[in-house]
């Protein structure tokens, strides 16, 4: 029969310490991934494991991965070595990331060229790569997407007088990152297509009401 010492005789000092295998480290909360490893080989393995897990969750730019590893107490030379390894392996490519973000934000979310550029800059992508990526949005694409966005938004403004609807639609399209010339063009077209369209005076033709309906 196995017997255990009384509860009062047991304490934390009697417990065997936890031992981690080489290259395996424990992260608790926001703790550092590098704090429990010492040898260069273990630190390189730790940096690789941390970066790989982060990239598996979402696409990241080189600068974002650098910041991610720096927050976990890896040294600059260790980080740069890992970033170079990831790029050679094809797991890290800012140009590919930029193209994917352009598709997401322009084609799917309906953002204009300016807003897309700002989003890529927020992701800390090199300005030269950003310029190349957004150059794929030509003027016709920009106008067509802006028209779609403006018409959809205008349908939500039919309870407003013409001046208010125009002001709100203009502001909305500017926030979406479209140029002022495109905003003027698509706003005019989108509001003109609404039922009971109004002139700039805010009064519908042949009616005393100032509302679209």
pLDDT at 212: 37
Same domain, 74 and 39: yes
Contact 192, 184 (CB under 8 A): no
Same domain, 129 and 82: no
Is residue 47 one of the residues assigned to a domain? yes
Is residue 77 one of the residues assigned to a domain? yes
pLDDT at 35: 59
Which of 79, 12, 86 shows the shortest CA–CA distance to 44? 79
pLDDT of 112 higher than 70:
yes
Is residue 16 one of the residues assigned to a domain? no
Please provide residue 192's backbone torsions phi and psi, each rounded to the nearest 5 degrees.
Answer: -65, -25
The pLDDT of 46-74, averaged and rounded, is 95
Kindly report, residue by residue over 171-198, the tens digit of the pLDDT: 999 999 999 999 999 999 999 877 655 4
pLDDT at 19: 39
Distance in angstroms (rounded) separating the CA atoms of residues 176 and 172: 6
Question: Per the structure block, which two tokens stand in for 118?
Answer: 């700002």
Is residue 27 one of the residues assigned to a domain? no
Same domain, 52 and 83: yes
Q: Max CA-CA distance within the chain? A: 101
Is residue 12 one of the residues assigned to a domain? no
pLDDT of 161 higher than 60:
yes
Same domain, 51 and 64: yes
The pLDDT of 129-158, averaged and rounded, is 94
Is residue 200 one of the residues assigned to a domain? no
Confidence of residue 202 (pLDDT cuts 50, 70, 90): very low
Confidence of residue 37 (pLDDT cuts 50, 70, 90): low
**What residues contact 35, with CB distance under 8 A and at least 6 apart?**
25, 73
Q: Domain of residue 144: give its range.
A: 139-192
Is residue 173 one of the residues assigned to a domain? yes
Computed over every residue of the chain, the mean pLDDT equals 81
Same domain, 71 and 109: no
Same domain, 145 and 173: yes
The pLDDT of 20-44, averaged and rounded, is 57
Same domain, 99 and 83: no
Same domain, 144 and 174: yes
Is residue 1 one of the residues assigned to a domain? no
CATH of residue 160's domain is 1.10.10
pLDDT of 129 higher than 90:
yes
Percent with pLDDT over 90 in the chain: 69
CA angle 178, 179, 182 (to 5 degrees): 90
Same domain, 144 and 184: yes
Same domain, 162 and 151: yes
- Give the total number of structural domains in the chain: 3
- DSSP letters, 128-141, are HHHHHHHTTS-HHH
The pLDDT of 18-26, averaged and rounded, is 38
Same domain, 80 and 113: no
The pLDDT of 72-79, averaged and rounded, is 95
Question: Per the structure block, which two tokens stand in for 38?
Answer: 């010492």
């Amino acid at each position: 029969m196995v017997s255990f010492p009384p509860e009062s005789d047991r304490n934390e000092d009697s417990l065997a310490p936890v031992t981690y295998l080489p290259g395996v480290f424990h992260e608790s909360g926001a703790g550092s991934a590098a704090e429990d490893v010492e040898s260069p080989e273990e630190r390189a393995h730790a940096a690789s494991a941390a970066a790989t897990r982060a990239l598996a969750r979402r696409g990241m730019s080189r600068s974002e991965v650098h910041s991610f590893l720096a927050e976990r107490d890896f040294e600059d030379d260790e980080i740069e070595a890992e970033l170079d390894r990831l790029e050679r392996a094809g797991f890290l490519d800012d140009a590919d990331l930029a193209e994917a973000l352009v598709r997401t934000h322009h084609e799917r979310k309906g953002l204009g060229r300016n807003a897309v550029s700002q989003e890529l800059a927020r992701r800390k992508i090199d300005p030269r790569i950003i310029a190349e990526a957004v150059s794929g949005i030509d003027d016709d694409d920009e106008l067509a997407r802006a028209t779609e966005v403006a018409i959809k938004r205008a349908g939500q403004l039919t309870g407003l007088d013409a001046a208010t609807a125009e002001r709100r639609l203009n502001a909305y399209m500017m926030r979406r990152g479209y140029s002022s010339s495109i905003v003027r063009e698509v706003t005019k077209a989108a509001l003109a297509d609404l039922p009971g369209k109004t002139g700039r005076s805010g009064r519908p033709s042949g009616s005393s009401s100032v509302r679209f309906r």
